[in-house]
Amino acid sequence: MGFILQVVAQDQLQSANALLGAARNSATMLGAALAGSLVAAFGAGLTLAIDAVSFALAAMLPASLSVRAQTKMAPASIIEDLRLGAKEFFSHTWLWTIVFQFTILVMGLEALFALIGPAITRDVMGGARDWGFIMAAFGAGTACPRGVS
């Protein structure tokens, strides 16, 4: 978010965040379907190579942006920054308990979506292509609020 503040004017921040959210959700849906189709058509190795090229191209995009200067803070040691950050983090019970809860939740979801789901799809369904479309449908379901289509 710090980078967004350097690129977008304050009065355009809400629109920029909305655009980022829409792009993120679209990439989740379309990316999963495309990845599954590419793995089914070309195999995992070539798909990873294509993915790597897309990330390399995306890494070049920030160079084309006009970035405002960032105000610098007084230098401090990394150990002091970590100590102060940990002190602040653990001083808010609501914060560290939510982080802990979501850590457990994400571990469970990753087990399902990264291990169990693909294995079942490979053994029972059509493999990578079908898993890609399942993930795209899941992304579409989470991106679209209930009652809105």
Containing 93, the helix (H) or strand (E) segment is: helix 93-110
Q: Which pLDDT tens digits describe the chain residue by residue (149 residues)?
A: 478 888 888 899 899 989 999 998 888 888 888 988 999 999 999 999 999 999 999 999 888 888 887 777 777 889 998 999 999 999 999 999 999 999 999 999 888 888 888 899 999 998 888 988 888 887 776 655 554 44
Quickly count: other Cβ atoms within 10 Å of residue 78's Cβ.
7
* Neighbour-count burial for 46-64, b at 16+ CB within 10 Å, e otherwise: ebeeeeeeeeeeeeeeeee
**CA-based nearest residue to 143, from 31, 62, 1, 66:** 31
Residue 68 is inside which H or E element, if any?
none
Q: How far apart are CA 21 and CA 143, in angstroms?
A: 9
